[in-house]
Amino acid sequence: MLVLAGTAEATRLAAALHDAGHAVTSSLAGVTSAPSARPGRVRRGGFGGAAGLAAYLRAERIDAVIDATHPFAARMPFNVASACAEVHVRHCRLLRPQWAPGADDRWTSVRSLDAAPGALLDLDARRVFLAVGRQSVGPFLGLADRWFLVRSIEPLADPPDHVTSILDRGPFTPDGELKLLQMHQIDAVVAKNAGGVATAPKLGAARALGIPVVMIGRPAQPQGIVVVPDVAAALAWMAATAPIA
Ligand code: NAP
């Protein structure tokens, strides 16, 4: 079976499936140079669109696919849905529930990454914590009269003067996030609505300090597919849909 990886859940899922006796191959996009270790086979790099993935599924005789790519992976879920339908392989999408604002949160919700810089201007934010991943920093670089703190797993290539890059990998702690926002005198946070617990503490820290959050909405997902919220549900789906021996 094949797990499309790129999240902590994908790593845990590969381990759990391996322990349950499945021959698991994890597929990584190849964007992180030192990905988390996991049992089973690991392959890296794109398949060449839905057609390439379908050819791979046939060639490797894959009998089940779990798409555990990140909630902001915009293309892979559509490729998986299309390839699995073509090759008649069962598949499900592991997608964490979204975060929702509480009464004390100051969120400005935007539909896409490209709308976030405008929201920062509306808030007149000056010192911004950009918690969007290094691949998504581009749309903010034009705001040269603002200062940005970017935290990412891999370093930013040649950050301009108004961008400070720090390296870290979740899970993060409430106390650590509070200190980070205070130390850098952050007055706005930009986040993707990734859901989950590992990166949520920044939202609690912003709430505690009364700092606004520009929350970017998720990209569209394929319609009519099986969606599960966590690793346990993905394992239950695997067991429930196994062919009768
Ligand atoms: P994307 O738009 O869905 O994918 C772009 C292309 O990258 C896909 O068409 C595919 O190439 C290849 N690809 C993506 N995931 C792959 C996988 N698991 N195995 C093999 N090829 C894969 O996704 P993205 O936003 O570029 O993200 C790339 C990877 O980073 C994903 O695995 C995602 O889970 C992870 N990630 C993304 C974010 C984010 O904010 N976007 C955050 C954390 C982690 P082909 O069409 O050639 O097959």
The whole-number average pLDDT for the span 26-45 is: 93
Query: φ, ψ for residue 12 (rounded to 5)?
Result: -65, -40
At residue 243 the predicted structure's pLDDT band, cuts being 50, 70 and 90, is confident
pLDDT surpasses 80 at 244: no
Determine contact, residues 27/54, Cβ cutoff 8 Å: no
Please indicate whether residue 4, judged by its CB atom, sits closer than 6 Å to ligand 1: yes
C-alpha span between 111 and 224 (Å, rounded): 22
**Average pLDDT rounded to a whole number, residues 23-38:** 92
Single pTM value for the model: 0.95
In one letter, which amino acid is 75? Answer: R
At 196-209, the pLDDT tens digits run 999 999 999 999 99
For a mutational test of ligand 1's pocket, the pick from 65, 75, 76, 193, i.e. the residue with the most ligand atoms closer than 8 A to its C-beta, is 76
| pLDDT computed for residue 245 by the predictor | 67
Percent of the chain with pLDDT over 70: 100
Structure-derived torsion over alpha carbons of residues 84, 90, 95, 96, reported in degrees to the nearest 10: -170
- Most ligand 1 atoms within 8 A of CB, residue of 69, 153, 169 to mutate: 69
Q: Does the beta carbon of 85 sit less than 6 angstroms from any atom of ligand 1?
A: no
Q: For 67-100, write each residue's pLDDT tens digit.
A: 999 999 999 999 999 999 999 999 999 999 999 9
Is the separation of the CB atoms in 19 and 80 below 8 Å? Answer: no
Q: What is the pLDDT of residues 205-228, one digit of tens each?
A: 999 999 999 999 999 999 999 999
* Mean model confidence pLDDT for the chain: 96
Q: What distance in angstroms lies between residue 105's CA and the mean position of ligand 1's atoms?
A: 30
What is the model's pLDDT at position 32? 83
For a pLDDT cut of 90, what percent of the chain falls above it? 93
Q: How far is ligand 1, taken at its centre, from the CA of residue 48, in Å? A: 12
Contact 31 CB / ligand 1 (< 6 Å): yes
Residue 103 has pLDDT above 80, yes or no: yes
Q: If we measure between CA atoms, which residue out of 96, 66, 82, 87 comes closest to residue 226?
A: 66
Atom number in ligand 1 closest to CA 75 = 3
Tokens of 64: 């089940």
